[in-house]
Amino acid sequence: MLIPTHKIIRLLLIIELFLLIMNFFPADWCATFLPQRWCSSLETIFDLDQEANIPTWFSTLLLFSVAISSFIVHNLGWKIKNGTSWSYFWFGFGIVFCFLSLDEASGLHEMITSGLNIKWIWIYAPLGVLFFIICTYFLEYVNKNKALTNYIVGGLAIYALGILTSETFNFYFYLGKAESTIEEGFEMLGTIMVLTGCLKEMNRLFKISYDNKVKI
């Protein structure tokens, strides 16, 4: 049975839209109906600028879902193609998204900034560019699946755009809650696009393994 990719992605997009809207939760207006402390708590747990709340949890789950999907694709590819560089690529892809998930949950990049006294973007940016080039190479020239390339490379580009947008706003402008909404919106959307590609690749390999009677 294939994974209902479109239904899953539709649900994730709806959740993302809900979280982006809730970032503008009107605590003052809410206080006319509910106790102030309740309204303040609701504002905090949906604030995209805060850590250890619902949006952070959702983003962490998205990134970890990509990692798990990548490991499954690696395992399927290993059994179907007997361990080609393509299956190794997916294992490395999963490791990177495990790290991104950890970073999202723990705020590791902020620890790097405070601990090393250097802006984290200067460490992450070169590694991110290298990762993007490797992904583009394998997807465009090794696998040669245009749809998969569009989902994953496009998703990575949108994810990176969220980071770059945040850094640009921090340096030149201050847009309040709109800034975090744009940043997190791009990052969540990019991750969902990457996850879509992973799930579609899983379905493709599931079908191949079924047709070829490969034991999973």
To 5 degrees, how large is the angle CA 77–CA 68–CA 18? 130
Decide if 70 contacts 97 (C-beta within 8 A).
Answer: yes
176: pLDDT strictly greater than 70 = yes
Domain boundaries, the chain: 58-211
Q: What is the pLDDT of residue 82?
A: 62
Residue that the structure tokens 């879902």 belong to: 65
Neighbours of 14 (CB within 10 A): 10
Residue pLDDT, tens place only, 186-196: 999 999 999 99
Residue pLDDT, tens place only, 39-77: 888 888 999 988 889 999 999 999 999 999 999 999 988
Decide if 47 contacts 53 (C-beta within 8 A).
Answer: yes
The contacts of residue 177 (CB under 8 Å, 6+ apart) are 23, 24, 48, 49
**212 — phi, psi (to 5°)?**
-95, 5
- Overall pTM > 0.95: no
